[in-house]
A and B are shown apart, each in its own frame.
Chain A
């Protein structure tokens, strides 16, 4: 019987199978950040343990850092203490660290791929649910809790039950104005916010194969928003081309040897998945969310539904009440005062280029505060070298320094209570972008058009 991509990579990492369906899974790379690692370091110290494989770890602060004046000491005492704790722990345990101001600093899920740390066939974890992003390279990558961060630190392994497999196939060419973000918001709207729970997803089909690596990362990034353990895409020539020459990627003969192995990492023809879905790219249009979980998404031109299928009507009503929307109404014409472009979902150079390309020569609407936060120092530098900073600034967008920023509102970048924000991030939960903030998830293109128009519009009528 054939094997799925997931099964091939998983099997290659099983140190030991236990009775009762748990595997001891070896972890090739462990990314850490300031928020979910301090208690893990303390746990290790409490037990008198040292890091088992410190050379397989990389650290960077991203969640709880300011995106302005990063060269100055962090003003907020608790945030400063948390970042300082990461620095102190990394110095003490000799973990590779890209601190504020370092040319490699950025959101963990942006820097892993751009530095060539993320490679096909690897297992990768991080104390952050959007670790699924790295699956775009054919890696098994998933988010873990802090106790598990400590386990990986102590043993480079995790005890894991093997998830079921799901394949989501998307075929055909994309309509104008439709981006990777629309594909994944469309899929989540079809499967619901819990539709992937217990599964590891493989995305396949001609639409997925035609996407750039950065677009594939956007897709895999949001796998967790369906509850899936992770998402992955079989590596191909686009993957190998992206990796070649990156800082920590294998070089020369080692690279050729690696590619030969990576080419074996695909689902066999006769492989069987526990669940399969197939979608047609032609059915996908620019999307936006109207509710308080990422499964509550609609085509931007359609109306808010009257209910959410089999979900409870009470929870649905509560969600709409929070958002200030009515069942059956259209969102077109709704004024929007905040636009946030950033997060591990959409803060890479292609995202910035899409925004800059659209807003070039235009000016944001007077009512809009538009913030754009690059995913890493490298993305920021690339944007500057291409002159995107000038275009964005002329259009009235504020270009910040790298970090997670208003995606989760842990630093001072927050959306005020009651205000709407069209955001390229991944979660529209109540209060996610600040207490009382109302988030509408969308693509960078939808966000750019919204910023210019100051309201929600049918973006297909506004394309350049």
Chain B
């Protein structure tokens, strides 16, 4: 996994609420057996017409907005557990998703792929979204080490699990950690009362 410490970038606003993983990557694009290439179909049905021509009014097709930070609406990533949602965002070039609320499984999947979910207050989110729309060149700083997001002199701190933070900063993942617990896991198995 890539190391993650700080991202300074402009942002892409997508203020819809309840963006589910079927919108992020529709099921018919989950047929690949590798992790690569899902970015091409990120937000497929919002981004392209059925004849594959781009939908001009969708933000990813708007040259004005670019950057590594997606600024989305509340309850981002609800629905299916498909990790392809995190892969497609990362593959497209996003390193951070900002929202005021994240669905559980999506949040875990993002953290396991070097994509940082930054949960802010509703007020901060609407301020940030308005600032980007007013000036698409607005620079946003996401500092994982200090757990702080800032733009135009405004800032807010965000929560991140201490263990996952260490993993992101150093580029470790859970497999590295778990396979070193083999003897403890075997000891658990011997003592388990579960049928």
Contact = CB atoms under 8 A, between A and B. Distances in A.
A13 B34 contact: no
B161 A161 contact: yes
B171 interface: no
B28 A410 contact: yes
A170 interface: no
A148 B17 contact: no
Contact of A159 (B15, B16, B178): B178
Contact of A36 (B83, B174, B181, B192): B83
Interface stretch (B3-11, B57-65, B98-106, B148-156): B98-106
Contacts of B83: 36, 39, 127, 145-147
B113 interface: yes
Nearest to A64: B31
A151 B27 CA distance: 23
Q: Give the interface size bracket for B toward A.
A: 35 or more
Interface string A103-124: 0000000000000000101110
Interface string A11-55: 011011011111010101000000110110011000101001000
Nearest to A408: B27
Given A155-B185, A159-B174, A193-B75, A12 B30 contact: no
B73 interface: yes
Given A16-B184, A155-B178, A144 B81 contact: yes
A430 B45 contact: yes
A12 B193 contact: yes
A148 B108 contact: yes
Contacts of A155: 175, 178-179, 181-182, 185
Contacts of A147: 83, 109, 112-113, 173-175
A318 B16 contact: yes
Nearest to A40: B83
A157 interface: yes
Interface in A303-320: 311-312, 314-315, 318
A318 to B, nearest CB: 7
Contacts of A293: 18, 20, 78
Interface in A112-162: 119, 121-123, 127-129, 131, 143-148, 150-151, 154-159, 161
A258 B23 contact: no
A294 to B, nearest CB: 9
A150 B104 contact: no
A293 B20 CA distance: 9
B81 to A, nearest CB: 4
A80 B195 CA distance: 37
A127 B81 contact: yes
A38 B28 CA distance: 16
A432 B161 contact: no
Nearest to A230: B104
Contact of B195 (A78, A194, A261): A261
B192 A12 contact: yes
A82 interface: yes
A43 B179 CA distance: 14
Contacts of A400: none
B123 interface: no
Contacts of B34: 38-39, 42
B30 A410 contact: yes
Contacts of A387: none
Closest 9 CB pairs of A and B: A145-B83, A143-B81, A145-B109, A38-B33, A155-B178, A20-B162, A78-B31, A147-B112, A129-B81
14 contacts: A20-B163, A36-B82, A39-B35, A52-B185, A79-B31, A82-B31, A129-B80, A146-B84, A147-B83, A159-B163, A194-B78, A197-B101, A258-B195, A312-B73
Given A79-B31, A194-B101, 14 more contacts: A16-B184, A145-B105, A146-B109, A157-B178, A159-B178, A224-B105, A227-B75, A293-B18, A312-B74, A314-B16, A315-B16, A417-B50, A427-B20, A429-B79
Interface of A: 12-13, 15-16, 18-22, 24, 26, 28, 35-36, 38-39, 42-43, 47, 49, 52, 63-64, 78-79, 81-82, 85, 119, 121-123, 127-129, 131, 143-148, 150-151, 154-159, 161, 163, 193-194, 197-198, 224, 227, 229, 250, 254, 257-258, 261-262, 292-293, 311-312, 314-315, 318, 408-410, 417, 427, 429-432, 435-436
